[in-house]
Structure 1
Amino acid sequence: MDELAADGALANAKKLGQLLRTLRKKRGLTAAQAGAEVGCHASQISRYETATRVVGVAHFEKLMEVYRVTDVQRDELEVLADQARDAEKPWWSDYGDAINTRYARLLDAESTATSCFDYQTVLVTGLLQTEGYTRAVTAVGFGEVGPSQVDALVEVRMRRQQRVFTHERPLELSVVLTEAALCFRVGGAKVHRAQLVRLIEAPKKYPNITVRIIPFDAGEDGTQTGAFNIYRCPPEPDVGFSESVSGGSVFKSGLDLRRMNRLSKTLTRVSLEPGPSADLIRKYL
């Protein structure tokens, strides 16, 4: 999308949001009340009204009923919504040939979350990987897809890191790694060393990043589960992702998500504090 098109889409989204807010107030409803009527949180209504997210078709239809919009008003709002919605494609839509639905759901959660807990057993978390490290693990894990798709997956991972390093509202990233993740010489000695240096230096430069290591002598407490992460964006529910050979699973509620949250606390408890964790990483340089 060129800059003029992007500006036009934003203008439409802002105008739509202002009109939705006016209609809501005219009906005497709070954002929480409007959200309850359409089946979403108050924060979602606020995002629609501030143009940080364009209202989807289902919520648009319900809001038109709740706000008792006339046919003439509805036509105007529908045009604005369609124009803003058509232009509101996430950046990862450009990589549709390389990423699957589950990965797209992770990227969507990551784009709106305020914080993320990430536990990895044998690899460094993707949000802190160097490009060399990413290319090495991607070439092995996705080698069957071909060089061009490997390149695309590496690009996706590098763009994801903007959410941590350069975003105006950086993601609060809490990483817990087992000591095993420090041992595998991914990509060879040079790439391995550069990755370890990043694990040490990134938390120093970016206060939103915390890295903790579970040492081998933590025993069974540090090996309770496979890799997983939890994205949080209060007051909306957490979203959890766990990895497996079949591609992983997504959890938004229920026993599995509660178990993930309990495990995150246990794994953090048995890990070293950031300072001693950095000292342990240095031993592998």
Structure 2
Amino acid sequence: MAASNGTLLMSRVTLGRALRRLRDETNQLTLAEVASAIGCDISLLSRIELGKRNCSQQHFAKLMDLYKVPAHERDDLAELHAATRERRQPWWARYSEVITTAYERFLSFEAAASAVHEYQVGMVPGLLQTEGYARAVIAAGFASLGPDQIDALVEVREMRQRQRLLETDTPLTCHYVITQAALKFEVGGSQAHQEQLQYLLELSEHPSVELKVIPYERGEEGVQIAPFQIFQFTDDDVPDVAFGESVAGSLTLDDPRDLRRLHRLFTNLVGAALDPDESRDLITRIKNEED
């Protein structure tokens, strides 16, 4: 249970999950009962269990006593609690001027995840984008930013690729489903488009990448929903978490009902998509037609 998750956020999420299990499953206590017993607000306790707030040393000690946690388990939890309070800086800290709070949360989960299931309607997944493609997408999506800020966000995307896919001994296991439209949209000009298609062909052969394409003829099965990512973790104490895109920005989804629905949707999308070899054949045809 020690803090092997790599970020402060993930340490908080892991600790919160363990504390919730002790309260609800082991001791059958409500949030109100525990909050009253340790002298804190219900909302604070709830946020601690969700990994959204740090647990103070005082509250942690009171919870351990209230839950009558055995010494060996208390030692493990104390180590995890200490990890939530370390002043560790993730690699993206130096980009704090351009990274929003929502994006930082996304990066934290991506950094700690063991697998991702991602669906994109009209865009290539971020970890598979070339520099030219990423620059064009970021410049269009963040038109109010200056050139230096756009450069920084492009660097962030490149660092994500290196950290989670290209230059790591534990790459993220990536399951991608995209539509044919994502292959046809010309992003960054014709040359950048060709480079992106070639890069997709290369990365689709990566041992931790599975790329499947939904062809136009199966369109009704593949364009009913917005893009989303589901992150999964090796630590049993950390539940799946999903991110969805909307006009209001990125949404974090951790309700079990939402996650079950998204897993079913992803399974259906996989069923509508071509297999990896057929998908590479389609990418090759589109690349050759536009060359």
Settle same-fold status: TM greater than 0.5.
yes
Amino acid at match of 2:264: R
Query: Residues 54 and 84 of structure 2 are in contact (CA less than 8 Å); yes or no, is this contact kept in structure 1?
Result: no
Please, which runs of 5 or more residues in structure 2 have no aligned partner?
Answer: 5-16, 26-52, 72-77
Trace 1:162-241 onto structure 2 (pairs within 5 A).
162=162, 163-204=164-205, 206-234=206-234, 235=236, 236-241=238-243
CA distance in 1, matches of 2:18, 2:101: 32
* TM-score, length-scaled by structure 1: 0.73
Q: Compute the RMSD of aligned alpha carbons.
A: 3.0
- Compute the displacement of 1:257 (Å): 2.1
Query: Residues 38 and 62 of structure 1 are in contact (CA less than 8 Å); yes or no, is this contact kept in structure 2?
Result: no
Query: 1:248 aligns to what SS in structure 2?
Result: strand
Aligned pair in 2 of structure 1 residues 39, 128: CA closer, same or farther (>3 Å)? farther
Aligned-pair identity in percent equals 39
CA distance in 1, matches of 2:245, 2:265: 15
**What per-residue deviation string (whole Å, max 9, x for no partner) do you get for residues 78-113 of structure 1?**
9x9599712x01111211221111111110110111
- Compute the displacement of 1:250 (Å): 0.5
Amino acid at match of 2:171: P
> Which residue of the partner structure matches residue 34 of structure 2?
none
CA distance in 2, matches of 1:57, 1:181: 40
- Compute the displacement of 1:269 (Å): 0.8
> Which residue of the partner structure matches residue 58 of structure 1?
55
Please, which runs of 5 or more residues in structure 1 have no aligned partner?
Answer: 1-12, 15-31, 41-55, 70-76
> Which residue of the partner structure matches residue 28 of structure 2?
none
- Compute the displacement of 1:281 (Å): 0.4
Amino acid at match of 1:109: F
**What per-residue deviation string (whole Å, max 9, x for no partner) do you get for residues 24-56 of structure 1?**
xxxxxxxx988844899xxxxxxxxxxxxxxx9
> Which residue of the partner structure matches residue 93 of structure 1?
93
Aligned pair in 2 of structure 1 residues 282, 83: CA closer, same or farther (>3 Å)? closer
> Which residue of the partner structure matches residue 121 of structure 2?
121
Amino acid at match of 1:100: T
Query: Residues 133 and 187 of structure 2 are in contact (CA less than 8 Å); yes or no, is this contact kept in structure 1?
Result: yes
> Which residue of the partner structure matches residue 246 of structure 1?
248
Runs of 4+ off more than 6 Å? 32-35
Query: Residues 204 and 280 of structure 2 are in contact (CA less than 8 Å); yes or no, is this contact kept in structure 1?
Result: no
Count of residue pairs brought into register by the alignment: 232
Query: 2:117 aligns to what SS in structure 1?
Result: strand
Trace 1:101-120 onto structure 2 (pairs within 5 A).
101-120=101-120
- Compute the displacement of 1:283 (Å): 1.2
